[in-house]
Structure 1
Amino acid sequence: MADNQQVTSFVVRFSPMGQEDLQESQRWRIRVTHVQGQEEMTVASMEELCEHMEQILKRG
């Protein structure tokens, strides 16, 4: 393993929104935390989650 390897970590939490008995159409609140920068953001979809994480990774 290289000594200068950069590590970027995320914590992703999914919380149900609305009525839990409608599981097929279940909506989720997705909270992502960038561990190194202590940045936290709530997104509404997996697409938004991936976009947010990609932006942080591009910053380096």
Structure 2
Amino acid sequence: MNTITLDLEKLAEAMVVSFKYNTKEEHRGALAMLSMIVGNGDMYNKICEIAEKKLAEEKNNEK
């Protein structure tokens, strides 16, 4: 059996990139895929929290 390790920070960064550069439909598809991979629970919510913080930081840095 093969094993993979997921880095929540990198997944959150990918979520931010998807949000910024994909259409709404493409972004929803990316989020659905991520949800299937990690499960739609605590881990997914943690990734969303990290992504929200990253977006907020980027907005603050643009000012």
Question: Which range, TM-score by smaller chain?
Answer: 0.3 to 0.5
Q: TM-score, normalised by structure 1?
A: 0.35
* Structure with the larger strand share: 1
Higher gyration radius (CA): 1
Q: TM-score, normalised by structure 2?
A: 0.34
Higher relative contact order (CA 8 A, sep 6+): 2
* Structure with the larger helix share: 2
